């Protein structure tokens, strides 16, 4: 008997593993929202479990590469792990990424100057996030024979697990936390293509909360050669990123507020590798305001004033120069 697993079997195992991560993340969110005092206990117990599950999912990804086209692999999706495996397998077509159509519609364009420092870049992200609209902002700069782009991605705007027209929802959060791809991520990638991001263009992705998860997802795709452009930098604010693996990413700078529970939702610290810098500060406030971009701008002001990691922060601030063509895209799903 052939002992090798079929691609279908591997896909089913991977789906179950990723769904396990999704379920644990749901329950972790419930603990954070309903009983914050238990968060520390959960952090110690659940972190190693999520880490091992994510590594198993990655191992399944590697095995599947030998069976199926990579793009088909990456659009696999999730189900509820409490469902028996046969039921899970039967319901997978309903949850496949293709069953949720993601779209990106151009809304406006204009010309602006380069953000002179990382602080101005963060301010632009704040304005985008606080708008409450499912809109990404893409700035295009000419750089030699190619272009450089800065992509701003907002955070969660809808806490419902039910599918609505806004893809920045809780379902997208859970898919991204579980290592899958969400409608918001696919729509952001589509908006980049529509903005003209092409072969050999260099990209900086800037995201708040869920926007940071999307940025990391797109950065992994770039590092794997699945998209023609090169993501050079990722900047995240208040993003639960600890389960990501540093050697699958470009240069990453993550800002975290110690008073913000959201960056801890993956129950693991970010890897302290050469290409991944995590800068922490403390802005005490209620759990909601501690997560807002205003708190992270305050942390950024403190870091810039201290001179800590000056070279890295100045490199980010100097990523682009001159005038930029700005495009706004409204993202949606159905």
Is the pLDDT score of 333 beyond 90?
Answer: yes
Is the pLDDT score of 49 beyond 70?
Answer: no
Is the pLDDT score of 93 beyond 80?
Answer: no
The pLDDT of residue 171: 87
Contacts of 293 (CB under 8 A, 6+ apart): 122, 125, 126, 129, 130, 208, 237, 238
Is the pLDDT score of 255 beyond 80?
Answer: yes
The pLDDT of residue 163: 81
Is the pLDDT score of 46 beyond 90?
Answer: no
Q: What is the mean pLDDT of residues 216-243?
A: 94
284 contacts 225 by C-beta, under 8 angstroms:
no
- What letter would DSSP give residue 169? B
The pLDDT of residue 252: 98
CA distances from 174 to 18, 48, 73 (A): 10, 18, 18
The pLDDT of residue 299: 97
The pLDDT of residue 85: 34
pLDDT digits (tens, 9 = 90+) for 115-172: 888 999 999 999 999 999 999 999 999 988 889 999 999 999 988 778 889 999 988 9
The pLDDT of residue 175: 86
Residue 219, token pair as written in the block: 């950065």
Q: Higher-confidence residue: 15 or 262? A: 262
Residue 51 and residue 34: Cα distance in Å, rounded? 24
Q: Higher-confidence residue: 105 or 308? A: 105
Is the pLDDT score of 59 beyond 70?
Answer: no
Instruction: Single out the residue of 271, 279, 266 nearest to residue 248, CA to CA.
Output: 271
């Amino acid at each position: 008997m052939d002992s090798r697993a079929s691609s279908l079997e591997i896909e089913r195992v991977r789906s179950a593993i990723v769904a396990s991560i999704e379920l644990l993340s749901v329950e972790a969110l419930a603990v954070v929202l309903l009983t914050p005092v238990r968060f520390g206990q959960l952090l110690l117990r659940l972190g190693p479990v999520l880490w091992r599950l994510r590594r198993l999912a990655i191992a399944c990804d590697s095995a599947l590469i030998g069976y199926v086209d990579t793009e088909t692999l990456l659009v696999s999706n999730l189900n509820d792990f409490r469902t028996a495996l046969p039921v899970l397998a039967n319901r997978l077509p309903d949850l496949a990424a293709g069953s949720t159509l993601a779209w990106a519609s151009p809304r406006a364009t204009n010309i602006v100057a380069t953000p002179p420092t990382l602080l101005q870049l963060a301010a632009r992200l704040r304005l985008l996030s606080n708008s409450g609209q499912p809109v990404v902002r893409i700035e295009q700069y000419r750089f030699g024979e190619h272009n450089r782009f800065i992509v701003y991605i907002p955070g969660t705007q809808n806490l419902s697990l039910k599918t609505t027209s806004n893809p920045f929802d809780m379902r997208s959060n859970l898919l991204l936390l579980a290592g899958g791809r969400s409608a918001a991520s696919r729509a952001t990638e589509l908006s980049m293509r529509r903005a003209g991001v092409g072969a050999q263009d260099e990209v900086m992705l800037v995201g708040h909360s869920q926007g940071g998860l999307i940025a990391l997802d797109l950065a992994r795709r770039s590092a794997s050669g699945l998209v023609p452009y090169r993501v050079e930098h990722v900047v995240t604010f208040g993003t639960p990123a600890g389960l990501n693996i540093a050697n699958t990413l470009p240069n990453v700078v993550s800002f975290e507020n110690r008073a913000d529970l959201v960056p801890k939702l993956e129950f693991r610290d970010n890897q302290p590798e050469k290409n991944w810098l995590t800068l922490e500060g403390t802005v005490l406030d209620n759990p909601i305001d501690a997560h807002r971009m205003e708190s992270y701008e305050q942390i950024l002001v403190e870091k810039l004033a201290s001179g800590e990691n000056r070279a890295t922060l100045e490199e980010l601030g100097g990523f682009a120069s001159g005038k930029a063509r700005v495009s706004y895209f409204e993202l949606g799903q159905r």
